[in-house]
Structure 1
Amino acid sequence: MVEELLFQEDYQIVDLILIAIALLVAMAIAIILFFYFSRKRIIKSELEKANLKIANQKEIIQTTIITQEEERKRIAQDLHDAISSKLNIVSLNANMLSLKDISSEETNKIANSILKVTGNVLESSRKIAHDLLPPTLDKFGLEAALEELCEEVADTNSFEVSCDLVYEAHFLNKDKELHVFRIVQELFNNSIKYSEATNLTLKTEMEGKQLLLHYFDNGKGFDVLTAKKAKGLGMSGIENRVAILNATHTIISSPNNGISVTLALNPSKDEN
């Protein structure tokens, strides 16, 4: 009887051990499955992020190409309108000078016409070159170029322009300074063309290791979400340059409330 009880206790212990082992195996399988599916979800999420990033980069490249093509068309049109057509006039006048029966009075008149046209051509070519790469930006840096841009807009006498600039020289390299300049140039152009604003404000300041740029106008404003969906070249150009600069920005606007743009930039490692 005693032996039977001992055997029963042994069997119960064995049963408990087997049950414990089964539970441990089940827990191990559950943990493995949990980590497997968690890892799968993480990988899926990372892939979705990567695909989204690739799609975004493709869109940026595509928009950049479109913007470049539009810019090339504009430059070609400027060259044709401002230079080629005027040089044709110079050529015609020069041919007239070769005529044998031309009087001295006519010669002087044609010469003055040539001088006037060539002067206009030189001024037009200077303006086109300035638009492509502002010499002030190249020689004196971002602050001087932005100050000159503000003065050019103010000289139109169409706007009250407020310009308050603080910038640490060489905080950004020349390529990044050009992108910032183009962003501000596009903001001014948008205000001039579409906003019906009377006051334009540009401010830059150094805050810690960041450059902060603020732009405001008091124009008619627009719906930001609608503008982004429309993907106009102006808005897309700004968004693309912000991405290239690895900067952060906010655009606040609504109908009848003007626009407020803030851009925050950090120097890259090679600029420290």
Structure 2
Amino acid sequence: MSLSTTNPTHRILLARWLVAAFFLISCLFWANQALLSTFRLTQPLPVHTFLETVTIVIFASVFIVCWNAFGESRKKSSAILAIAFLCTAILGFFHSVSFQGMPGFETAIDMHKSLSFWLASRTLIAITLLGLALDPTDSDVSKKQSYSILFIGTICTTLLAVVIFNAPHLVPLTFSATAGQTTFKIAYEMVLVAVNTLTAFLFYQHAVRFQSDKTAEHLHIERAPLFFASALMAMSEVYFSLYSSTSDIDIAIGHTFQLFAAIAIYRSMVAVNIHTPYSALAETTESLVSSSNELILQRERLSRMIDTAIDGIITVDEQQIIILANPAAAAIFGYQADSLIGAPLDNLIPMRHRHSHGNHMREFGEAGTTRRKMGTHYEDFYVTGCKADGNEFPIEASIAHQLENGKRYYTVIFRDITDRKIAREKMAAYHTQLSQLSNTLQTIREEERKHIARELHDDLGQLLAALRMDLSLLQRDRQLIENNQQTMKSMDQLILSAITTLRRIATDLRPRALDEGGLFFALKTLQKDFSQRHKIECELVADEKHLILDDDRSTAIYRIIQESLTNVARHAEANYVQIEFHHSSDKLSFTISDNGKGIDDQDMQKTQSFGLVGMRERVKAMHGEFHVVSNNIEGTTLKITLPLEQET
């Protein structure tokens, strides 16, 4: 008899037909008790003992498998089922050993004890199954909780056994020497019949509902076999209530029905509890196989990516032996890819760098960092490569390492930057030439300014002065003054304005104070003129003795400050400027600070910002440092630092 068909609908139909068949047969037996009583058991004790023993073994198996099916993480249903059927097996054992006819248990009181154990075991099964039918949900229980339930269940069973064995009078009488089964025993079994019938009905309803609603089936049990088992348990209780002596065939039929019910319970609970973990294991295995296949695909994909990568990729072990090299790496170094595998990494490094490179690799592996850039500058000798023909070339690379099974592996991804090196060298040469050209232009421009300023001051200035002197002589002629007084005064003012403008232009081109009084006096003049012309307070903080410099430096510093003040007047919207010098033994630093609106970053990066570019170039020509700090709260500050001894 099996309900193991895989289709839930078929299982329900099979269980229903089996229950109907057993019920029909039972009705025939119950209706023909007179005929059935003619069949007697000649040796009833061995038959009862065998059937009860098999049932006890099955119930014990339910405990063993339900208890161990889920390891450390158990379900509440599994724990309760395991403990309930363990207690049932214990009570069933006590029922068997105290049954009338067993050695030492021949009296009516012994039969009372046996039937008391019988009723207790069947009550426990009925209540457990009814509880599962009434509450189909489930939850996890911890190891501590499950062992606590086991301890309480076994203690209660032990106490009940002690009471039945030692104080049977405390238990309602179930058997008498004259009447046999008592009214209490028969009525109690009718109650068990009703409970098991209700349980069978509920399990049938669950089986029908859960076959279409798989998400609702939380318990690790099958309902169709439990429906069948509960129905047989109800029928068996009827047989047990009908017998009058131990040799009646009703007892054997009841035990047989009980055995079939135990098998169905085993099928429902044990088989599923075994199947569930192994199904999970099968799903896990299938998932692992799927993951393994996915891993294989990923490895193949990664292998194709490595083989088709433009950059070279090399992996070495702790002994610096190459274990992986892609075609790009082999092509960069001029080898065949297969010939690099198993070769020492030293073959790809110039002889003079091999020892230091090995030390650096080990230090990198022991430093705790997992990756690092190398060769970001082409002159970085640590990543200079050596081709198969002995030619050296620069490399830009990144290195990473990882631990596998206690062994360290290093992977380098690199590219040949020879073209970049050549381009950088050309750019550096162009930049040097442009800087030299800029310096030359600045020098030529300054010389030209000096020449123009001298010509304006010495030649044109003297002509204007002579013209004014001649005008002064004409003004002594009274008759001429009377007729042209206004014209003479206007001419005098125009000549004076021309002289003033000429002096300002000449000063802007080349301040005479710079040649005659030095940088300090030139800056004082510039400060005073700036304040008067733009109505902006300007403060100069400097020591004259620290500003005694050569003509080139003095001119450059003057032009930087002059350009800075021009920018302040045009753009800063400031009302205060401070120029402050600091002197040390090896450098001269100065700042130009204003309290204006500041300069935006994008404005400082504009290609049209020739003022800043010119100042940077002047500072660079003197091997100095130039920094701009600006925000809309504190204004703008230019910080310039110049070495006092020019580098060569």
What is the TM-score of this pair, normalised by structure 1? 0.67
CA contact (8 A) 2:541 2:580 kept: yes
Unaligned stretches of 5+ residues in structure 1: 1-24
Residue of structure 2 in register with 1:154 after alignment: 531
Give per-residue Cα distances to partners, 1:223-264, cap 9 Å, x unaligned: 235323333222222122112222111101134441011100
Cα distance in 1 between the residues matched to 2:513 and 2:564: 19
Cα distance in 2 between the residues matched to 1:31 and 1:157: 66
CA contact (8 A) 1:224 1:254 kept: no
User: What SS does structure 2 have at the residue aligned with 1:155?
Assistant: helix
- Does residue 1:204 correspond to 2:557, yes or no? no
Cα distance in 2 between the residues matched to 1:170 and 1:195: 27
Residue of structure 1 in register with 2:426 after alignment: 51
Cα distance in 2 between the residues matched to 1:108 and 1:134: 36
Give per-residue Cα distances to partners, 1:18-42, cap 9 Å, x unaligned: xxxxxxx977744449653694218
2:492 to 105, 115, 125: 115
Q: Whose RCO is larger (CA < 8 A, sep 6+)?
A: 1
Q: Cα distance, 1:190 vs. partner?
A: 0.6
- Rg larger in structure: 2
CA contact (8 A) 1:224 1:252 kept: no
1:1-272 matched pairs, under 5 angstroms: 29-32=347-350, 35-36=385-386, 39-41=392-394, 44=418, 47-57=422-432, 61=437, 105-156=482-533, 158-169=535-546, 172-269=549-646
Cα distance in 1 between the residues matched to 2:617 and 2:350: 44
Cα distance in 2 between the residues matched to 1:58 and 1:253: 31
Give per-residue Cα distances to partners, 1:73-115, cap 9 Å, x unaligned: xx9xxx9xxx9xxx9xx9xxx9xx9xxxx96534343333322
Unaligned stretches of 5+ residues in structure 2: 1-342, 352-383, 396-416
What is the TM-score of this pair, normalised by structure 2? 0.30
**For this pair of structures, how many residues does the alignment match?**
228
- Against the structure 1 CA distance between its residues 104 and 220, is the aligned structure 2 distance closer, same or farther, given a 3 Å change threshold? closer
- Against the structure 1 CA distance between its residues 62 and 184, is the aligned structure 2 distance closer, same or farther, given a 3 Å change threshold? closer
- Against the structure 1 CA distance between its residues 51 and 226, is the aligned structure 2 distance closer, same or farther, given a 3 Å change threshold? farther
RMSD over equivalenced CA pairs, Å: 4.2
Letter of the structure 2 residue corresponding to residue 133 of structure 1: R
Letter of the structure 1 residue corresponding to residue 527 of structure 2: C
Cα distance in 1 between the residues matched to 2:346 and 2:633: 63
Q: Cα distance, 1:178 vs. partner?
A: 0.5
Q: Cα distance, 1:48 vs. partner?
A: 4.1
Give per-residue Cα distances to partners, 1:115-165, cap 9 Å, x unaligned: 221111111111111111111111121122112222222234722322211
Cα distance in 2 between the residues matched to 1:120 and 1:164: 33
User: What SS does structure 1 have at the residue aligned with 2:535?
Assistant: coil
CA contact (8 A) 2:578 2:593 kept: yes
- Against the structure 1 CA distance between its residues 247 and 106, is the aligned structure 2 distance closer, same or farther, given a 3 Å change threshold? farther
CA contact (8 A) 1:222 1:256 kept: no
Letter of the structure 2 residue corresponding to residue 52 of structure 1: M
